[in-house]
Amino acid sequence: MPKILPFKAVRPTRDKVSLLASRSYESYTAEERESRLRDNPFSFLQILNPGFKYQKEISGAQRYELVRNRYQEFKEDEIFMQDDLPCYYFYKIVNRDGDEFRGIVAAASAEDYEKNRIKKHEATIEYRENTFKNYLETVGFNAEAVLLTYPNNPAIEKIIASVMSTRAEYEFTTTYRDTHYLWNISDPEIVNKLKTHFAEIDAVYIADGHHRSSSSALLADDKKQQNKNHTGEETYNYFMSFLIPESDLKIYEFNRLVNGLNGLSKEEFLIQLDAQYRIENRSTAYYKPSKKHHFSMYLDGEFYSLYLRKNNYEITNALDALDTQILYTTILKPILGIDDVRNDTRIGYADGKKDLVYIKSLVDQGTYTVGFGMLPVTTQEMKEIADQGLIMPPKSTYIEPKLRSGVTIYEF
């Protein structure tokens, strides 16, 4: 029974939203960031990269303080405004491929995260958790929502459809040719219905944003300890989330690339693979697997299909059945010697939006020696992992939609 509540978002004025909204900071190349910072004074990147004003790289606590200063300047210049009443923010994205994502931006409870009513499937790194917690504590806001998913719910869907049949508060198209729509809804009848419908759901699942949610939970605990008059209703007890139904979630695979064969020749490597896989040489024909537990492999100018020999592999839980785990258990660790897939510099990743041509090019140019392709994780697999309290290997999913930063901002 998670608490999913409306909140008073800080957001750009209607005439500035298309200029201000930005992708996540890390998704830009250095050249792209430079261009946007130079040419667009309203970009949210101006807040995230405050050192640009002084043509200097600034990091750590000093950067956090300058981010806060730049954010306050945007508010003082009335680039931002804040809603007078708590709202649910209905959000729709139609991407350039024609995919449509519809959901609700709202405040999710840090207590629900701690009590596993918001379920996880991915491990977090303590250093990153604490770094982002310190950032949030200094700047006092969060501009990038955690992506949560919930079981399809006809009652919630009916409300979403009704709201989205009306004129949106925002409608803007990005240079990526994705079109974004936002409706800010404070109507008491709709708000109360949504609160009730969300409270009737047993649990929601983190699709993307494990570090953001864990950092928010750490911050909430710190603030609770510092506040002698803590009630549980303070804004720091919640974090901004974008909730979408499971049917709207789009999951891509993360393919693996490895530099070197751990001292093995090509022939020795193939012989060791043969113990776990039926191998077929596909020559130069592009091959993408069509079934779970099947993999594609590109090595030395040729594609191979790898079919798991199931009599040699035991599945006892949802994690054992996950293709990224199978690849790690049968190839990456025992044959290629990659024990720590999170930190080993020999392994690289390519999300499924990049095709086999991309993997082939990285191997052909010598950046990597071998590439492995697989099918995406399904929503059901992701939920089973979370329900069983298990953790996927890193980079198991690349999930859409991706919200723009700065369209709705949650202040603590």
**Residue 125 has what pLDDT?**
82
**Residue 380 has what pLDDT?**
96
Mean pLDDT of 282-302: 96
- Residue 300 binned pLDDT confidence (cut-offs 50, 70, 90): very high
**Residue 27 has what pLDDT?**
85
Q: Report the C-alpha dihedral over residues 218, 220, 221, 225, rounded to 10 degrees.
A: 140
Check whether residue 239 and residue 218 sit in a common domain: yes
Check whether residue 245 and residue 307 sit in a common domain: no
**Residue 1 has what pLDDT?**
81
380 in any annotated domain: no
Check whether residue 202 and residue 112 sit in a common domain: yes
63 in any annotated domain: yes
- Residue 24 binned pLDDT confidence (cut-offs 50, 70, 90): confident
Check whether residue 242 and residue 290 sit in a common domain: no
Mean pLDDT of 182-211: 97
pLDDT higher than threshold 90 for residue 39: yes
Tell me the CATH number at 285: 3.30.1760
Check whether residue 20 and residue 32 sit in a common domain: yes
394 in any annotated domain: no
Amino acid making up residue 233: E
Q: pLDDT tens digits for 48-106?
A: 999 998 888 898 999 999 999 999 999 999 999 999 999 999 999 999 989 999 999 99
Are the beta carbons of 307 and 278 closer than 8 angstroms? yes
pLDDT higher than threshold 90 for residue 343: no
Mean pLDDT of 183-193: 98
Check whether residue 263 and residue 233 sit in a common domain: no
CA distance 28 to 328: 30
Check whether residue 238 and residue 261 sit in a common domain: no
Mean pLDDT of 107-113: 97
Check whether residue 306 and residue 159 sit in a common domain: no
**Residue 359 domain boundaries:** 254-375
390 in any annotated domain: no
* CA distances from residue 170 to 15, 89, 125 in whole angstroms, order as listed: 9, 11, 36
Detail the DSSP E strand segments found in 214-345: 238-245, 250-252, 254-258, 277-283, 294-299, 302-308
CA distance 304 to 309: 15
97 in any annotated domain: yes
Mean pLDDT of 9-35: 93
pLDDT higher than threshold 90 for residue 20: yes
Check whether residue 78 and residue 140 sit in a common domain: yes
142 in any annotated domain: yes
**Residue 55 has what pLDDT?**
87
19 in any annotated domain: yes
**Residue 248 has what pLDDT?**
94
- Structurally, the chain folds into a number of domains equal to 2
Q: pLDDT tens digits for 363-374?
A: 999 999 999 999
Mean pLDDT of 312-329: 96
Q: Please state the separation of Cα 338 from the chain's center in Å.
A: 25
Mean pLDDT of 298-314: 96
Region of residue 178 (left: phi > 0; alpha: psi -120 to 50; beta: else): beta
Question: What does pLDDT average to over the chain?
Answer: 95
Check whether residue 18 and residue 156 sit in a common domain: yes
Check whether residue 324 and residue 226 sit in a common domain: no
8 in any annotated domain: yes
Check whether residue 155 and residue 59 sit in a common domain: yes
